[in-house]
Chain A
Amino acid sequence: MTGHHENIKAVVAKIGLDGHYRGVKFVARTLADQGLEVVYLGANQTVEDVVDATVQEDARLVALSFLSPDYRQHVPELLGALAAAGVTDVVVVVGGLIADNDRPTLERAGVRGIFGPATTAADIGRFLDDAFPVVTAPGA
């Protein structure tokens, strides 16, 4: 059983022209089911859109979905833009169709989680437990 993560905001988006939105909606719904407050930007966003939303909403998680190789360009751009905006404590994850040989590059660049097509809601829950441990008061 995975925990319930309240008071955590997540920005969920697709950057670029790829319109396949079914997966990203599934992720948004799964995060909401786990107690997160989801800021769903949807498809066709720019790097600036995602940075602005992250700053304005004080989000602790940014989840991006790509069904095209555009992540090679947009993810490093986003990580750079977040750092430039002074956002250093946000967890960035990507999902969708990420090529095996691109994974090390993304991880080195600071992506905390990469989720492929076999991902289940339970996998997402386990990742959240690890990234955002639920603090239980002693004796509770």
Chain B
Amino acid sequence: MCDGIDLAAINASFSTFQTPVAAQYAVNAIRRGYERGILRGSIQNDPICARITGYDPGNPLDVTLRMSIDAIAYCAEHMPRWHSTVVNTYILREAGTDAVQEMAFGLAVAFYYLTLARDRGVPIDASAPRFAIIAGLHNDFFEEIAKLRATRRVWAKYLSETLHAQDERSKAVTISVHTCGSTLPAQQPVNNITRSAIQALAAVLGGCRGLDLSCYDEPFNIPSEEAATVALRTHALLQHESGIARVADPLGGSYYVEELTDRIEERIWTVLGQIEEAGGIREAYDSGWIQQEIDLSASKLEDGIDSSEIPVVGKNCFNDDDTIDDLLPTGLTYSDPNIEQLEWLRSYKARRDRGALRDALQALVDAARKREPNVFEAMMAAMDAGATTGEVTGAVRVAYGEPFDPVGMIEAPVELR
């Protein structure tokens, strides 16, 4: 995937929860002669939000948390320019949380990872500067701006007062924004271009450090080339034509935005307090409380749209002209399975040195059985011996007493004890 690309010149963002992907990237970079310390980029490495939103049903949290926290420890020591963790509050929002829950749940998750890493011997000032958040951006313009501003305040206070960070970089969290696909209805999809542009404007005014837009065909499809290009051009005209990126925090001092920021901050602290009372984020998730809160908020929003109390232009109001529905092509087709890739993977697996693969995967199982060794390092060694991301996860699962494959379709490539 990275053939012909100078890895020293790029920032590679992996929009995946699979922690081993970061190990695989590092292994390939080292093979190509790069120092691991210069690698820039990010991986989501956020098993709790993945689990809450249904992205990772097969792996128990003990397994994924071990890989995640060890990745944080490894990156803090050896890959200091790499963002080891990007907490994904975007998917919490898309699952149905409101703005306050989105950030409160996400912050509780981030603080939990930082605490686990600290307990594993990683100083806060070694891990926190390489944490980031990817947030959603929903319809309520000023509430969303206030949400981003309040999140940075809560982060700074918690890092400073509770986790005792000293480094200023630990206290300033980077927030990227992905505009919420769930706000884009299937009715009159041309309006989604305008919607995403307004949301992106809020993201910039709220101080996002990275931004991408959901596309007008989001309700139907993986973005078409045309829809993705329109989203990129919207981004470009905000950045280059409008001049809004010229100054940081342009709404700072506005009586309305400051007041709203105060209120949202207070509400985020309240929810953080509720999570603490529930015994922490892990317990709040395990008990079903988080899921229940998400479902209640989702229902409230859906009921509001259904009763037209919450206006959605083209869907529950201004919906008398359906010619606008067909202004843009939005049909859905699926591509056929990529047989070539499957064949490549088969031949890749067949070419491996089975002895070396067995030794490295067994060493990973042995490392994961003990608390001390860093499994991220053992994962890298296994991948250097040819193991895939799925196989290293399988090996860690075996160490935790789980079957190699959660759905029982794949055998381990070598016998693991």
Contacts and interface: CB of A to CB of B under 8 A. Distances in A.
Interface in A111-125: 116-118, 120-121
A43 interface: yes
Contacts of B333: 99-101
A132 interface: no
A19 B54 contact: yes
A120 B306 contact: yes
A90 interface: no
A117 B331 contact: no
Given A26-B302, A101-B333, A118 B55 contact: no
Contact of A117 (B220, B302, B306): B220
Contacts of A22: 94-96, 182, 298
A118 B186 contact: yes
B11 interface: no
A43 B55 CA distance: 10
Contacts of B295: 25
A82 interface: no
B13 interface: no
Nearest to A21: B54
B148 to A, nearest CB: 23
Which size class do A's interface residues fall under? 20 to 34
B298 A25 contact: yes
B239 interface: no
Contacts of A26: 298, 302
A37 to B, nearest CB: 19
A94 interface: no
Contacts of B95: 21-22
B287 interface: no
A101 B55 CA distance: 28
A29 interface: yes
Chain B CB within 10 A, most for which of A19, A98, A102, A120: A19
Contacts of A121: 306
Interface in B251-308: 295, 298-299, 302, 306
Given A22-B94, A25-B298, A97 B220 contact: yes
B80 interface: no
B386 interface: no
Contact of B186 (A43, A101, A116): A116
A20 interface: yes
Contact of B334 (A44, A69, A117, A118): A69
Contacts of B219: 117-118
A117 B55 CA distance: 21
Interface string A17-45: 10111100110010000000000000110
A120 B54 CA distance: 24
The residue in B54, B94, B299, B302 that gathers the most chain A C-beta atoms within 10 A of its C-beta is: B54
Interface of B: 53-57, 94-96, 182, 185-187, 219-221, 295, 298-299, 302, 306, 331-334, 407
Interface of A: 17, 19-22, 25-26, 29, 43-44, 69, 72, 97-102, 116-118, 120-121
Given A19-B55, A44-B54, 19 more contacts: A17-B407, A19-B54, A19-B57, A20-B54, A21-B53, A21-B54, A21-B95, A22-B94, A22-B96, A22-B182, A25-B295, A26-B298, A29-B299, A97-B221, A98-B332, A99-B332, A99-B333, A99-B334, A118-B186
19 contacts: A17-B407, A19-B55, A19-B57, A21-B95, A22-B95, A29-B299, A29-B302, A44-B54, A97-B332, A99-B334, A100-B331, A102-B334, A116-B220, A117-B186, A117-B219, A117-B220, A118-B187, A118-B219, A120-B306
